[in-house]
Amino acid sequence: MLLAFLFGTNTVMCIFLPMVAARGVHGVPTALRAVRVSSTFFVISCVITLATHDTVGWVTIALVWLGHVTVTGAELYLSAASWTFEAELMDPRQRGAYQGAAGLSSTLGKVWAPAVFTFLAMNWGATGWLLIAGVIVVATIGVHPSSRMARRFLEHHVPADVLADARASSADAEDGIAVGPPSLIDTDGPVPDPASGPLR
């Protein structure tokens, strides 16, 4: 029953809440705020999981569910922040290289992080959970100077017109400006009048 409840909660949150979490994130400062919110949720989840080891019955079920909700909230806000970092701090001319590096680091993180966190939680007990929370806090603090360094790199190495074009295209996409499909018809030329027949 607990697993079904957790799966149901996770499904509902992952369907309905990503846009809610991303709604207030529209630049690097708000993305950094989302990272801080994510970190807070994750630390709360660590504390809840730590406390769950000494509980029984319905209290355990409630704490496991609450810990699941907080860690899912952490993931939602972190995803919203990462989208903004990718959009705002990439060199527009090297998006493929940036996304490849991000994909590689993400894949490696999904290998080593669960292994290290599981080792800490299983072998170090309460100290391990507190250390996991500490790692998250340190990483959150480190994101702030890293984002400032990335911004300075863009300003010094990417031409201003390239950044302006990238921001303009992003703004057009957000405003829902539709671009028609490619056409063989010269849209810059004269428009034929249906009553006079085709242009010659």
Digit-coded pLDDT (tens) for 39-71: 999 999 988 888 877 666 777 777 777 777 888
| pLDDT tens by residue, 4-46 | 767 777 777 777 778 777 888 888 999 999 999 999 999 999 8
Please determine, for residue 130, whether its predicted confidence score (pLDDT) is greater than 70: yes
> Which of 148-152, 166-170, 182-186 is the least confident region?
182-186
What's the pTM value of the predicted model, to 2 decimals?
0.72
Domain assignment present for 166: yes
Quick check: is 14 in a domain? yes
The single-letter DSSP state of residue 91 is -
Give the residue carrying structure tokens 């992952």.
14
| Inter-axis angle of helices 28-52 and 95-157, nearest 10 | 120
State how far the alpha carbon of 190 is from the alpha carbons of 142, 149, 183, in Å.
Answer: 58, 51, 15
CA angle 114, 76, 122 (to 5 degrees): 25
Q: Enter the DSSP assignment of 94.
A: G
pLDDT at 30: 93
Inform me whether the pLDDT recorded for 108 exceeds 50: yes
- Residue 171 has a pLDDT of 54
Asked whether residue 187 is domain-assigned, the answer is no
- Model confidence over 81-92: pLDDT tens digits? 988 888 888 887
Number of domains comprising the chain: 1
- Which segment, 4-13, 99-108, 137-146, 172-181, is predicted with the most confidence on average? 137-146
176: left (phi over 0), alpha (psi -120 to 50) or beta: left
**Distant-in-sequence, close-in-space partners of 68: CB < 8 Å, separation ≥ 6:** 6, 9, 10
Contact between 135 and 124 under an 8 Å Cβ cutoff? The reply is: no
Would you say residue 183 lies in a domain? no
On whether the CB atoms of residues 31 and 80 are closer than 8 A, the answer is yes
The Cα–Cα gap between 45 and 67 comes to 5
Who has greater pLDDT, 68 or 74?
Answer: 74
- Whether 115 is in a domain gets the answer yes
Q: Tell me if 78 is assigned to some domain.
A: yes
Give the chain's largest Cα–Cα span. Answer: 86
- The verdict on residue 59 lying in a domain is yes
Q: Which domain holds residue 103?
A: 2-175
Asked if the model's pLDDT at residue 199 lies above 60, the reply is no
